[in-house]
Amino acid sequence: MDKKQDFPMLMHYKDLVYCDSAATAQKPQMVIDRLTHYYTHMNASVGRGVYALAEQVTTEYEKVREKVAQFIGAQSSQEIIFTRGTTDGINFVATAWGDKNIKAGDEIVVTALEHHSNFVPWQQLALKKQATLKIIPINQDGSFVIKSVSDWITPKTKIVAMTHVSNALGVYNSHLKELVSAAHLVGARVLVDGCQAFGYQPVNVQELGADFYVFSGHKVYGPTGVGVLYIKKSVQFDVPPYQFGGGAVFEVKDESTSFREAPHCYEPGTPPIAQVLGLGAALEYVSACGVINIQRHVAQLCTQFIEGAQSIKSLRILGGVEHLTGSGHLVSFVVKDVHAHDVAAFLDTRGICVRAGHHCAQLVARALNYEASVRVSFAMYNNAHDVTRVLEALAALSA
């Protein structure tokens, strides 16, 4: 699979090796075309217009909601709420659900593997509510330090928030289903951050058992400014509207307001219409390529990189190669005596784009004792030649 020809920016910069898709993916032509088509042929608001153009846009907008529901195995499109992105979705839950359901003495469980977006909102909620924040530590290979799940999840636990795939190490959360089951046994809710999983592997929220699942459109070849928050139908009674405004209300009186049913009660104001339509195009593109094919392709590139990197003595891969070989779409590493930013700057002189820093996951960096790392992440538009160029550049840097 080499889909470079579908991505205009990569065809414009033909010598560019883009290996920062975990930060944001490039956009295929059909996504760009969908955005342009909306603004040039369909520009109207959704939900309230009774003229034909507005009704057409509303129909297309809701079709994307149905498409997302099918893509993630949701029971109903009513469980799909459009947000600004993963960070917005997590803050939505921490604010709307958290303010209502967390009280002093309750326990909030997170892991040391989390992106700051799935750590700081829970930390701040715990501080605000005088709840206890419990952080499951990680081993050097990125796995959780869990002797017994009951050490972490107790009758006081109200929510468990955890990643599906680590953005810093690329490792899969192998304890996910175990932790979900333990949480539900004590009546706790579960939020899964699917930002680095969705689009790279099949996702079925019902099989996972997640009460909340979040991801961003721009990491799955869609536009920026749009994401998805899945809220299980049986949990929605416990999640009041997060913000208030037009489109979300049913009736407003002087003394009270009643709200529309989900998902519309959670989406006040004019939504990101063009971005949602663009997300729909991105999902069509991913479907045409096949998620399993994408997963297999990027895993081969990861394996090629890991095997080649082992001959560069100054380079150390983080997270344990046994958890990355044959799976995953990203690899993080450090180069002895060379700061990660300098490595990235050197690669940039060779036309290679990578990410350097702590990747908004300082708990991971602290646990694995590094200040900053270099992250290469692959997508369907990368190929074996791209990996070879990265390895050759790193070998030259280390020579």
What are 247-289's pLDDT values in tens digits?
999 999 999 999 999 999 999 999 999 999 999 999 999 999 9
**How is residue 338 written in tokens?**
């060379």
Radius of gyration of the chain (CA): 22
pLDDT digits (tens, 9 = 90+) for 131-174: 999 999 999 999 999 988 999 999 999 999 999 999 999 999 99
**How is residue 56 written in tokens?**
């057409």
19 has catalytic annotation: no
Instruction: State the pLDDT at residue 242.
Output: 87
Phi, psi of 337 (to 5 degrees): 65, 10
Q: Say if CB 20 and CB 354 are below 8 A apart.
A: yes
Question: Is residue 40's pLDDT more than 70?
Answer: yes
Question: Is residue 197's pLDDT more than 70?
Answer: yes
At 372, the pLDDT band (50, 70, 90 cuts) reads: very high
Q: Work out the mean pLDDT of the chain and round it to a whole number.
A: 96
Q: Say if CB 344 and CB 374 are below 8 A apart.
A: yes
Percent of the chain with pLDDT over 90: 94
Instruction: State the pLDDT at residue 48.
Output: 80
Coil, helix or strand for 231? strand
At 49, the pLDDT band (50, 70, 90 cuts) reads: confident
Instruction: State the pLDDT at residue 324.
Output: 72
> Which amino acid is it at 112?
A
> Which residues in 94-172 belong to E strands, given as ranges?
107-111, 132-136, 157-163
Please provide the CATH number assigned to the domain covering 291-398.
3.90.1150.10
Q: Is 3.40.640.10 the CATH number for 31-287?
A: yes
Question: Is residue 2's pLDDT more than 80?
Answer: no
Instruction: State the pLDDT at residue 244.
Output: 94
| Pairwise CA distance, residues 328 & 323, whole Å | 9
Instruction: State the pLDDT at residue 325.
Output: 62
| Pairwise CA distance, residues 231 & 216, whole Å | 15
Residues 6+ apart with CB under 8 A from 322: 141
Question: Is residue 323's pLDDT more than 80?
Answer: no
Q: Say if CB 303 and CB 297 are below 8 A apart.
A: no
Instruction: State the pLDDT at residue 326.
Output: 65
Q: Give domain limits for the chain.
A: 31-287, 291-398
Coil, helix or strand for 172? strand
Catalytic residue among 19, 195, 289, 360: 360
The reported pTM is: 0.97
User: Do you know the residue count of the chain?
Assistant: 399
At 321, the pLDDT band (50, 70, 90 cuts) reads: confident
